[in-house]
Structures are given as structure tokens and as C-alpha cells.
Chains A and B, each alone.
Chain A
Amino acid sequence: KQEVTQIPAALSVPEGENLVLNCSFTDSAIYNLQWFRQDPGKGLTSLLLIQSSQREQTSGRLNASLDKSSGRSTLYIAASQPGDSATYLCAVRDGGSYIPTFGRGTSLIVHP
């Protein structure tokens, strides 16, 4: 059974720092991995999706990488801003499954 872990659970940083959020999974036979952002009391917003054949995806200040062999993905946030404060979740979809497995998320606070 796939298990997804996100470390750290919480992170508080000053504005301007470059950040790395980690997501690890136990079964490397994945179909894709998706990163989400969730603001308090809101739904999840899709940030990036990496297919199993890809190594990374970029969108603006966000870069997500995937290393299937080691069961890891990282979300890199460049030049963090207070507006980046949110919970970031990763979800892994195994090959042949409709059901993604979610991590518990990393709660990020970027203070001015």
C-alpha cells in the first residue's frame, strides 16, 4: 500500500528565502505526482503535476522535481513571499489506480 510522507509538517521563514518542501513515497511504481496548495478553509489548488517519465516541472517561482528510484519529490519555492503562506500537499497516483494517496501536508508561514 502506498504511503506518502511530507516533511517538515510546519515551516516558518522570513520573506525572501528559498524553500524546499519534501514529499516521499514508499512504492516507486507511480503514474504521476501532483502538488497542491490549500489556503485555510478553502479547497485545494493544483500547482504542478509531474508524470512518472518526467524529472521536473516549473511554474513561475515553483519547481517540482521527481526521483522515482528514491521515492522522493521536492517542491522548490524561490524568493518566498507572505502570499505563499498556505498548506502544501503532495499526492501520488499509482499506475492503474484512480485513487491518489495524499500526504498530510506542510504548513508554511512566510512572515514579512
Chain B
Amino acid sequence: SQTIHQWPATLVQPVGSPLSLECTVEGTSNPNLYWYRQAAGRGLQLLFYSVGIGQISSEVPQNLSASRPQDRQFILSSKKLLLSDSGFYLCAWSGAGGLNIQYFGAGTRLSVL
């Protein structure tokens, strides 16, 4: 069966520090991968999605970047965190074809202080 791992679960970082969040998927190949942010009281905002290795699409201009170095690995990064980067970050995957059911990781709570 397929599983998605996202870590860390919680992260507290000072302003100006770098960020690296990792997401890996098991049990499938060539998944579509997504990074979302969910701020308090707001909806789910799509940050990046990827349909293949090295292929990254950005939905909104921001202080963050994403990379997909391997088929089932998706990384969210920042060189210098801002206070406004605080939020709940979710990784998700869906199959490249078929039903395209989307599955989510457990999320990372990021607090930038």
C-alpha cells in the first residue's frame, strides 16, 4: 500500500534561518506531488506541485522554493525565513493517472519567531 511521510511534525525557527521540509512517498511510482500551506483561519493554499523529477510549478510568488531530486521525494526550502512563513505545511500526492485521488501527509507546524 502507498504511504506518505512528512517530517518534522513541529518546527520552531528564528527569522532569517533556513528551512528544509521533506516529504517522501512509498508504494507508488511517478506520483504528482504537492506542497500546501494552511494558515490559521484561512483555506488551503497550493504552493508548489510537481509532475516529475526536476519539474516544479509554483502557484504563488513567495520566499519558498521546492525541489524534487528523486521520483518520490519532495522538498520545501527557504534560504531565509520570514515571520509570515509561519503556518501548517502539508505535502500530498496523487497518481499520475486513473482516479487522481489525493492523499495527504500528517503536516508540519512551522513557527517562525
Residue numbers of A with Cβ under 8 A of B are 31-32, 34, 36, 41-46, 49, 51, 89, 91, 93, 98-100, 102-105
Interface of A is mostly: strand
B70 within 8 Å of A (CB atoms)? no
- Chain A residues, CB < 8 A from B109: 41
Is B43 engaged at the interface, CB distance under 8 Å to the other chain?
yes
Residues of B within 8 A of A42 (CB): 106-107
Q: How far is the CA of A28 from the CA of B109 in the complex (A)?
A: 35
A32-B100, A98-B49, A105-B43 given; name 13 further pairs at CB < 8 Å.
A32-B99, A34-B102, A43-B106, A44-B104, A45-B104, A49-B99, A93-B100, A98-B94, A99-B46, A99-B49, A102-B43, A102-B44, A104-B43
Interface SS majority for chain B: strand
CB pair A31–B43 under 8 Å, yes or no, is no
B side interface size, CB within 8 A: 23
Interface residue B12 (Cβ < 8 Å from any Cβ of A): no
Tell me the B residues contacting A by CB distance below 8 Å: 6, 32, 42-44, 46, 49, 51, 59, 88, 90, 92, 94, 99-107, 109
**Beta-carbon nearest neighbor of B6 in chain A:** A43
A-B contact pairs, 13 of them (CB 8 A): A31-B100, A32-B99, A41-B107, A42-B106, A42-B107, A46-B104, A49-B101, A98-B49, A98-B51, A99-B59, A100-B102, A102-B43, A104-B42
Tell me the smallest distance from the CB of B58 to a CB of chain A, in Å.
Answer: 12
Q: Is there an interface contact between B100 and A44, defined as CB atoms closer than 8 Å?
A: no
Contacts of B42 in A (CB 8 A): 104
- Pair B107/A46 contact, Cβ less than 8 Å: no
**Min CB distance, A42 to chain B, in Å?**
6
How far is B46's CA from A22's CA once the two chains are assembled, in angstroms? 22
Which residues of chain A are within 8 angstroms of B90 by Cβ–Cβ distance? 43-44
Question: Cα distance A93–B42 when bound, in Å?
Answer: 20
Contact A43/B102 with A89-B44, A98-B32 known, Cβ cut-off 8 Å:
no
With A98-B32, A98-B51, A102-B43 as known contacts, state yes or no: A46 contacts B106, CB within 8 Å.
Answer: no
What separation, in Å, do the CA atoms of A49 and B101 have in the docked complex? 7
A64 to chain B, nearest CB (A): 13
